[in-house]
Amino acid sequence: MTSTDKGPWTSDISASDIWTATILSIQPQMFPGPLGESLCGRALREKLWALHSVDIRGFATDKHRTVDDTPAGGGPGMVLRADVLAKAIDQTIAKSDEQNPLIYMSPRGKPLTQKRAHKLATGPGVTILCGRFEGVDQRLLEARNIEEISIGDYVLSGGEIAAMVLIDSVVRLLPGVIGSADSLDSESHENGLLEYPHYTKPRQWEGREIPAILLSGNHGKIEKWRAQQARELTKSRRPDMWARFKDRN
Ligand code: SAH
């Protein structure tokens, strides 16, 4: 089968046993992009997860492959059409036969959190709609019950980079992707705190020493020092997190 036989799908998206991210975008060539490199890229090649991208334009009905139109009520920019997006979503879901949560990357969405990344990592995967221009027709979000997730309080030009952020945060939590699962436990946002500071050789650099406690070999003391550092950092940098942490502990 040649890639053109696959239609708007870049790969065979039938159901698989591995965690699968399916992206719907008008810029599908942006994938895998950075997700094909380093940790996520190696895991992708090792089939610890799978990635499919779908070209929304492949579902347009006119010869110009139109996917957007002017906003009802006037105003600047263009809006992605509900009919074209629905066709792309429905046909992709039918073909993949996966029960993935359906997410629209959006600055109006619920903020992405480490907790959500863990939850997504325990599921079968995720199907993500990437917006462009002014966004997507509201009726589509309601009719297909699509959850909106934001990666932060700023506006990007498209949902693709946001989708990559979400996928990266999940993939590194999948079994086997990071060598030592221990290294995940103390990370920032895992336990409601920011992580303690790290040091490595050389022992002295530009007149600065590694804190002596870290070279003492006393693991009990090191652990205590790190816990204290994590609390202090969180208190000074993220009073919002600190207040929540204190409430819970
Ligand atoms: N007019 C919209 C912004 C459109 S930005 C508004 O004011 O809410 C174009 C696309 O980029 C969006 O459809 C969305 O998919 C993506 N995007 C922009 N900022 C984002 C963010 N903070 N998180 C996730 N996706 C974002």
Name the closest-CA residue to atom 11, ligand 1: 158
Whether residues 146 and 223 fall in one domain:
no
Last residue of a domain, one of 171, 197, 223: 171
d(CA 197, CA 16): 40
**What residue owns the CA closest to ligand 1's atom 20?**
107
Ligand 1 atom closest to the CA of 129, numbered from 1: 15
Q: For residue 155, which atom of ligand 1 is closest to its CA?
A: 19
Cβ–Cβ < 8 Å for 211, 199: yes
How far, in whole angstroms, is CA 80 from its chain's centroid?
A: 22
Q: Are 131 and 105 in contact (CB under 8 A)?
A: yes
Q: pLDDT tens digits for 111-121? A: 999 999 999 99
Residue 222 pLDDT greater than 70, yes or no:
yes
Residue type, 34: P
Flag whether pLDDT at 182 surpasses 90.
no
Structure tokens at 134: 């002014």
Distance, C-alpha 181 to centroid of its chain: 19
Residues 53 and 137 in one domain: yes
Residue 192 shares a structural domain with residue 155? no
pLDDT tens for each residue of 63-115: 999 999 999 999 999 999 999 999 999 999 999 877 899 999 999 999 999 99
Residue having the nearest C-alpha atom to atom 2 of ligand 1: 134
Q: In this predicted structure, what is the pLDDT of residue 238?
A: 98
Residue whose entry in the numeric block shows the structure tokens 């917006």: 131
Q: Which of 138, 171, 204 is the last residue of a domain?
A: 171
- For the cut 90, the answer to whether the pLDDT of residue 14 exceeds it is no
More confidently predicted of 40 and 182: 40
Q: Is 207 among the domain residues?
A: yes
Q: Could you tell me if residue 12 is inside a domain? A: no
Same domain, 164 and 204: no
Structure confidence at residue 56 (pLDDT): 98
The average pLDDT across 167-185 equals 90
Say yes or no: 96 and 123 in one domain: yes
| Residue 2 pLDDT | 44
Same-domain status, 166 and 61: yes
Containing domain of residue 190, as a range? 185-248
Percentage of the chain lying above the pLDDT 70 cut: 98
Query: In this structure, are 148 and 80 located in the same domain?
Result: yes
Closest approach atom of ligand 1 to CA 108:
8
Measured in Å, residue 66 CA sits from the centre of ligand 1 at: 20
Rounded to the nearest angstrom, the distance between the alpha carbon of 81 and the centre of ligand 1 is 16
Q: Is residue 227, in this structure, part of any structural domain at all?
A: yes
Measure 129 CA to ligand 1 centroid, in angstroms. 11
The CATH number given to whatever domain includes residue 122 is: 3.40.1280.10
pLDDT tens track for 133-159: 999 999 999 999 999 999 999 999 999
124 prior amide bond cis, ω within 30: no
Counting the structural domains of the chain, the total is 2
In this model, does residue 1 exceed pLDDT 70?
no
Measured CA distances, 194 to 8, 121, 231 (Å): 42, 21, 8
- 74/195 same-domain check: no
Q: Is residue 2 included in any domain, yes or no?
A: no
From 26, 30, 104, 106, the mutation candidate for ligand 1 (largest count of ligand atoms within 8 A of CB) is 106
Q: Are 130 and 163 contacting, i.e. CB atoms less than 8 angstroms apart? A: yes
Alpha-carbon distance of 92 to 112, in angstroms, equals: 24
Local confidence band at 5 (pLDDT 50, 70, 90 cut-offs): low
Q: Check whether residue 165 and residue 225 sit in a common domain.
A: no
Distance 21 CA to ligand 1 centre (A): 19
24 near 85, Cβ under 8 Å? yes
Same domain for 160 and 107: yes
Q: For residues 31 and 146, state if they share a domain.
A: yes
What element of type H or E holds 38?
helix 38-45
Q: What is the pLDDT of residue 3?
A: 45
CB 8 within 8 A of CB 56: yes
pTM beyond cutoff 0.75: yes
Do 200 and 147 fall into the same domain? no
- The residues lining ligand 1, judged by C-beta closer than 6 Å to any ligand atom, are 105-108, 130-132, 134-135, 150-152, 154-156, 158-159, 162
* DSSP 8-state class, residue 57: G
More confident residue, 208 or 181: 208
Q: What is the CATH number of the domain that holds 210?
A: 1.10.1270.20
Tell me whether the omega of the peptide bond preceding residue 202 falls within 30 degrees of 0, making it cis. yes
Q: How far is the CA of 104 from the centre of ligand 1 (A)?
A: 9
